[in-house]
Amino acid sequence: MPPLRWLALFLLPACLSADDLRPKAEAALARGVAFFQTINAHGGYVYAVTPDLSQRWGEGPKDAHTIEVQPPGTPAVGQSFLRAYQATGNAQALAAARQAAEALIQGQNQHGGWDHTIDFANLGNETVSFDDNQSQSAISFLLALNRVASDERLAGAVRRAMDMMLKTQLENGGWPHLYPPRGNYHDYATFNDGGINDCVRVMIEAHLLDPKDKAIERSLRRAARFISISQNPPPQPGWAQQYNEFLQPAWARTFEPASLCPAVTVRNLGTLMDLYLALGDATLLEPIPDSLRWLTEIRLPNGKWARFVEFGTNKALYYDRGRIRVNSVEELHPERRTGYGYETDLAGAIAAATQRYEKALRLGRNGLKKDESPELSREALSRRVTALSDSVRKIIASQEASGAWITRNDRFKTDLPAGVRWNGEYTVLDRISSAVFNRNVAMLCDYLELSARLEKL
Helix 74-88 vs helix 134-148: crossing angle, to nearest 10: 30
Side chain identity, residue 330: E
CATH class of the 208-375 domain in this structure: mainly alpha
Please, are residues 141 and 79 in contact by the beta-carbon 8 Å criterion?
Answer: yes
CB-CB contact of 15 with 386 (8 Å) = no
Predicted TM-score (pTM) of this structure: 0.94
State the pLDDT at residue 423: 80
Q: Tell me the domain boundaries of the chain.
A: 208-375
Q: 329 with 263: CB under 8 angstroms?
A: no
**Alpha-carbon span 289 to 310, nearest angstrom:** 21
Q: Residue 316 — pLDDT band, cuts 50, 70, 90?
A: very high
pLDDT over 50 (residue 318)? yes
- Dihedral pair phi/psi, residue 256, rounded to 5°: -120, 85
Tens of pLDDT, residues 270-294: 999 999 999 999 999 999 999 999 9
Burial class (CB in 10 A: 0-12, 13-18, 19+), 195: buried
In angstroms, the CA 163 to CA 178 distance is 16
Angstrom CA distances, 339 to 336, 342, 432, stand at 5, 9, 22
**Average of per-residue pLDDT across 22-33:** 98
Tally of CA atoms within 13 A in the half-sphere of 20 that contains its CB: 8
Q: How many CB atoms lie within 10 A of CB 49?
A: 21
> Beta strand 66-68 with 56-57: parallel, antiparallel or unpaired?
unpaired
Per-residue pLDDT tens over the stretch 385-403: 999 999 999 999 999 999 9
Q: What is the pLDDT of residue 14?
A: 39
- pLDDT above 60 (res 86): yes
Dist. CA 273–CA 286, nearest whole Å: 10
- Tens of pLDDT along 116-166? 999 999 998 999 999 999 999 999 999 999 999 999 999 999 999 999 999
> Do residues 389 and 18 touch, judged by C-beta distance below 8 A?
yes
